[in-house]
């Protein structure tokens, strides 16, 4: 007897439908379960016998198949039943690769969506460009940051869109490699994408666009090298002047632009004081709240904040002339016993000998330090109250828990060698300076080491009112230090104020006319995109950008290669003669990074986003079958 179809196979039929009841007919075609596996069972009346067919290839067939076979009347026609069953037997299960809930988007719409996301980021940044750029106030978990630095803003925005994060990467790389131009690189990348979006919408293949972009980049870099103005490093006076001009241009768009004449020489002196490696870690910036920003000072040597001190510190001398300096990575402090420490002794007198041994060890260390002739003892590790009083009695200054970066700069400036043991304290491992003193700066006490022989380290004491102002001033000085460093190593400059971008744009327009393929449109789009820098400079300064760009195009067509935006007089000027100089490396890196970012975004045609949840989520949508349970 052929089994009746289970009642639950009729689920989904209209309420009140008589077909909801299981059929009592001997003609049955149903999806039954044998040992947990789906099986097609049907009856052929052509020979009057019950013939049941089990077909494993129908694994994964939904329950409604049985309902169709049973209740639609197909079972009354053996040939139709056989045909339908054979059709079911050839059905293949749907292949499932991604987890349930995974979001996928692809094609032209995905490309345009990524471009729009990048444009939204650029829309936030573009008002910060140039000397008249506005600042952004970002409030994050109680911390307030005021900045117009592109890399800082992007980092604090916490962008989550995967394509827009590409702009974060190029801003960070520009900041690490060059130090300035972080807003420009994002602006150029966003404008390139904006200009080529119509071609994407019209169906031009992304690879065609990418090839055109890379062709444009090759032309830009070659023309930039041709236009760069080399600086003769053998002329010390001209080199210093060039570096001061570059530092001043970098500070033009910063919060301390009004004091660029004060800070630019300070930045150049700090860089020129370094050795040939130009390691910026050897330039310390110490922030001291209070006072005017013009009370900031450059210390030719090392200055570090007074560290935590024990009793007896007040009795130590605070000033030395030609002192010897000892740098240690040794702890000079009595240590308390570990919890649950156990010492087994047979005589109570042995305990005193153990205590005496510990005291003898530290006294031996202190005696070796004093015998070395050092007058200033600095250590990365704590110097306890016993050692502090011991040194005070012998007119020796000591400071423990000195920050690692400060101690490295002290060693570099004074010639001291960091010691991890006290077994061999000779004169050759001691450092020297002309003067050591402790002074009050604002509300803080600072220790100064000046007059170091062959000093390759310096410290900038940065003063100011509000904490946010000092923090932004520090970021501004960091950018200026990076610019001066790159200008010194590459010795080539270009005119700023949008002049170099306009000249490169003119060159690309001329080059595009020699191309007969689709690339002509892409090269022309890049040429238009480069005009975003002078246009945004004009907009941020409150000028008529359209009128100003027309004047710039006319000037460059007449051969005035360095015509740029004159922020002071609402017009155009020769930026090289106006000393608006930038290292050629800044533009080179910005153009390369922006173009590569645009190419990367265009090469993505599908985005797959997994659902958030348990990482061990098991997707069981594939129906179990033979060998897969």
Q: Which of 81, 128, 145, 149 is catalytic?
A: 149
Backbone phi, psi, residue 571, to 5°: -170, -150
pLDDT tier at 454, thresholds 50, 70, 90: low
Nearest to 11 by CA among 66, 48, 55: 66
pLDDT of 627 higher than 50 = no
The answer to whether residue 399 is domain-embedded is: yes
Q: Which of 46-55, 338-347, 538-547 is predicted with the least confidence, judged by mean pLDDT?
A: 46-55
Percent of the chain with pLDDT over 90: 29
Q: Which of 7-21, 90-104, 273-287 is predicted with the least confidence, judged by mean pLDDT?
A: 7-21
- pLDDT at residue 229, as a whole number: 87
149 in catalytic set: yes
Residues 197 and 120 placed together within one structural domain of the fold: yes
CA separation for the pair 26, 45 (Å, rounded): 10
For the residues 515-534, what does the mean pLDDT come to? 92
CA separation for the pair 419, 330 (Å, rounded): 8
- pLDDT at residue 107, as a whole number: 67
For the residues 510-514, what does the mean pLDDT come to? 93
pLDDT of 121 higher than 50 = yes
Q: What is the pLDDT of residues 32-67, one digit of tens each?
A: 333 444 444 444 434 444 444 444 444 444 444 444
Residue corresponding to tokens 């200033």? 376
The answer to whether residue 614 is domain-embedded is: no
Mean predicted lDDT score pLDDT of the chain? 79
Q: Which of 44, 215, 406, 479 is catalytic?
A: 479
For the residues 110-115, what does the mean pLDDT come to? 86
Residue corresponding to tokens 């007040």? 314
pLDDT of 26 higher than 50 = no
The answer to whether residue 262 is domain-embedded is: yes
- pLDDT at residue 164, as a whole number: 85
Residues 501 and 564 placed together within one structural domain of the fold: yes
- Please list the residues that pair with 534 across neighbouring strands: none
Q: For position 387, which CATH number holds?
A: 3.50.7.10
- pLDDT at residue 173, as a whole number: 86
- Other C-beta atoms closer than 10 Å to the C-beta of 250 total 30
CA separation for the pair 626, 59 (Å, rounded): 9
The answer to whether residue 617 is domain-embedded is: no
- pLDDT at residue 3, as a whole number: 44
- pLDDT at residue 110, as a whole number: 80
Residue corresponding to tokens 């067919």? 53
pLDDT tier at 451, thresholds 50, 70, 90: confident
- pLDDT at residue 61, as a whole number: 44
- pLDDT at residue 198, as a whole number: 92
3-state per-residue secondary structure call for 41-84: ECCCCCCCCCCCCCCHHHCCCCCHHHHHHHHCCHHHCHHHHHHH
Provide the token pair at 530.
């480069």
Residues 499 and 476 placed together within one structural domain of the fold: no
Looking at per-residue pLDDT, the higher value among 58 and 270 belongs to 270
For the residues 492-499, what does the mean pLDDT come to? 89
- pLDDT at residue 105, as a whole number: 58
Residues 307 and 358 placed together within one structural domain of the fold: yes
CA distances from 17 to 3, 26, 28 (A): 22, 21, 19
CA separation for the pair 629, 50 (Å, rounded): 31
pLDDT of 365 higher than 80 = yes
183 in catalytic set: yes
For the residues 403-412, what does the mean pLDDT come to? 89
Provide the token pair at 159.
């962008």
pLDDT of 471 higher than 80 = yes
Phi-psi region for residue 322, left (φ > 0), alpha (ψ -120 to 50) or beta? left
Residues 307 and 437 placed together within one structural domain of the fold: yes
Q: For position 565, which CATH number holds?
A: 1.10.560.10
Residues 482 and 505 placed together within one structural domain of the fold: no
- pLDDT at residue 97, as a whole number: 57
Q: Which of 333-342, 510-519, 568-577 is predicted with the least confidence, judged by mean pLDDT?
A: 333-342
Residues 484 and 515 placed together within one structural domain of the fold: no
Residues 265 and 318 placed together within one structural domain of the fold: no
Q: Which of 183, 239, 307, 595 is catalytic?
A: 183
Q: For position 246, which CATH number holds?
A: 3.30.260.10
The answer to whether residue 629 is domain-embedded is: no
- The domain total for the chain is 4
pLDDT tier at 238, thresholds 50, 70, 90: confident
- pLDDT at residue 628, as a whole number: 43
pLDDT of 192 higher than 90 = yes
pLDDT of 581 higher than 90 = no
- pLDDT at residue 292, as a whole number: 86
pLDDT of 226 higher than 90 = yes
Q: Does the model's pTM come out above 0.75?
A: no
CA separation for the pair 417, 519 (Å, rounded): 61
Q: Which of 76-85, 96-105, 270-279, 479-488 is predicted with the least confidence, judged by mean pLDDT?
A: 76-85
The answer to whether residue 469 is domain-embedded is: yes
Residues 119 and 46 placed together within one structural domain of the fold: no
For the residues 396-402, what does the mean pLDDT come to? 92
- pLDDT at residue 251, as a whole number: 87
CA separation for the pair 98, 131 (Å, rounded): 50
Q: Which strand (E) or helix (H) includes residue 253? A: none
The answer to whether residue 59 is domain-embedded is: yes
Q: CB of 444 within 8 A of CB of 396?
A: no
Provide the token pair at 399.
């400071």
pLDDT of 94 higher than 60 = no
Residues 188 and 281 placed together within one structural domain of the fold: no
Q: What is the pLDDT of residues 422-445, one digit of tens each?
A: 888 888 899 999 999 998 888 888
pLDDT of 90 higher than 60 = no
The answer to whether residue 621 is domain-embedded is: no
For the residues 373-380, what does the mean pLDDT come to? 92
Q: What is the pLDDT of residues 125-180, one digit of tens each?
A: 899 998 888 888 888 777 888 888 888 888 888 788 888 888 888 888 888 888 78
- Other C-beta atoms closer than 10 Å to the C-beta of 483 total 28
- pLDDT at residue 29, as a whole number: 38
Q: What residues make up the domain containing 283?
A: 236-298+462-490
Long-range CB pairs of 133-138 (<8 Å, 24+ gap) are 133/183, 133/253, 133/540, 134/540, 135/255, 135/472
Residues 325 and 435 placed together within one structural domain of the fold: yes
Provide the token pair at 103.
């979001």
Nearest to 447 by CA among 331, 325, 311: 325
Provide the token pair at 568.
């002071």
- pLDDT at residue 610, as a whole number: 62
Looking at per-residue pLDDT, the higher value among 70 and 283 belongs to 283
Q: Which of 288-292, 603-607, 625-629 is predicted with the least confidence, judged by mean pLDDT?
A: 625-629
Q: Which of 128, 182, 414, 459 is catalytic?
A: 182
- pLDDT at residue 146, as a whole number: 84
Looking at per-residue pLDDT, the higher value among 489 and 56 belongs to 489
Residues 252 and 280 placed together within one structural domain of the fold: yes
């Amino acid at each position: 007897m052929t089994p009746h179809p289970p009642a639950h196979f009729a689920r989904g039929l209209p309420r009140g439908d008589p077909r909801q009841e299981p059929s009592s007919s001997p003609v049955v075609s149903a999806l039954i379960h044998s040992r947990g596996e789906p099986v097609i069972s049907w009856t052929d009346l052509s020979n009057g016998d019950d013939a049941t067919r089990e077909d494993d290839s129908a694994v994964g067939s939904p329950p409604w198949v049985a309902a169709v076979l049973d209740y639609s009347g197909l079972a009354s026609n053996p040939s139709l039943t056989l045909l339908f069953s054979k059709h079911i037997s050839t059905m293949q299960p749907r292949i499932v690769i991604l987890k349930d809930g995974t979001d996928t988007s692809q094609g032209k719409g995905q490309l345009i969506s990524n471009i729009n996301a990048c444009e939204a980021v650029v829309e936030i940044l573009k008002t910060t460009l140039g000397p008249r750029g506005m600042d952004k106030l970002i409030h994050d978990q109680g911390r307030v940051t005021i900045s117009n630095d592109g890399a800082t803003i992007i980092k604090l925005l916490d962008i989550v869109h995967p394509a827009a994060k590409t702009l974060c990467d190029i801003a960070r790389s520009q900041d690490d490699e060059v130090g300035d131009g972080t807003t420009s690189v994002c602006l150029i990348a966003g404008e390139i994408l904006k200009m080529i979006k119509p071609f994407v919408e019209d169906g031009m293949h992304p690879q065609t666009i990418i090839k055109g972009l890379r062709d444009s980049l090759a032309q830009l870099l070659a023309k930039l090298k041709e236009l760069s103005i080399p600086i003769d490093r053998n002329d010390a006076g001209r080199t210093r002047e060039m570096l001061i001009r570059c530092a001043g241009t970098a500070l033009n768009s910063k919060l301390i632009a009004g004091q660029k004449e004060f800070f630019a020489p300070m930045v150049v002196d700090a860089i020129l004081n370094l050795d040939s490696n130009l390691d910026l870690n050897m330039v310390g910036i110490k922030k001291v709240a209070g006072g005017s920003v013009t009370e900031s000072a450059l210390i030719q040597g090392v200055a570090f904040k007074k560290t935590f001190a024990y009793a007896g510190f007040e009795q130590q001398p605070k000033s030395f002339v030609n002192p010897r300096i000892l740098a240690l990575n040794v702890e000079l402090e009595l240590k308390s016993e570990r919890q649950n420490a156990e010492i087994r002794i047979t005589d109570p007198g042995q305990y005193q000998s153990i205590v005496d041994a510990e005291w003898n060890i530290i006294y031996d260390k202190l005696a070796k330090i004093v015998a070395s002739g050092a007058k200033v003892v600095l250590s990365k590790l704590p110097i306890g109250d016993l050692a502090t009083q011991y040194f005070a009695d012998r007119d020796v200054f000591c400071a423990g828990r000195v920050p690692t970066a400060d101690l490295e700069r002290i060693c570099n400036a004074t010639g001291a060698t960091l010691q991890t043991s006290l077994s061999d304290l000779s004169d050759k491992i001691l450092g020297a300076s002309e003067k050591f003193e402790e002074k009050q700066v604002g509300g803080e006490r600072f220790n100064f080491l000046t007059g170091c022989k062959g000093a390759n380290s310096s410290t900038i004491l940065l003063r100011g009112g509000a904490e946010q102002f000092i923090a932004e001033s520090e970021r501004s000085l960091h950018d200026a230090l990076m610019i001066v460093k790159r200008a010194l190593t590459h010795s080539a400059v270009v005119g700023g104020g949008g002049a170099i971008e306009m000249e490169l744009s003119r060159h690309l327009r001329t080059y595009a006319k020699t191309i007969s393929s689709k690339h002509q449109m892409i090269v022309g789009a890049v040429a238009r995109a480069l005009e975003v820098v002078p246009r945004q400079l004009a907009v941020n300064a409150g000028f008529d950008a359209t009128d100003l760009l027309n004047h710039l195009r006319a000037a460059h067509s007449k051969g005035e290669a360095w015509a740029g935006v004159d922020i002071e007089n609402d017009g155009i000027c020769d930026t090289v003669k106006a000393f608006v100089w930038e290292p050629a490396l800044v533009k080179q890196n910005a153009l390369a990074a922006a173009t590569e970012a645009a190419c990367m975004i265009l090469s993505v045609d599908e985005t797959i986003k997994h659902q958030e949840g348990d990482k061990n989520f098991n997707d069981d949508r594939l129906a179990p079958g033979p060998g897969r349970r």
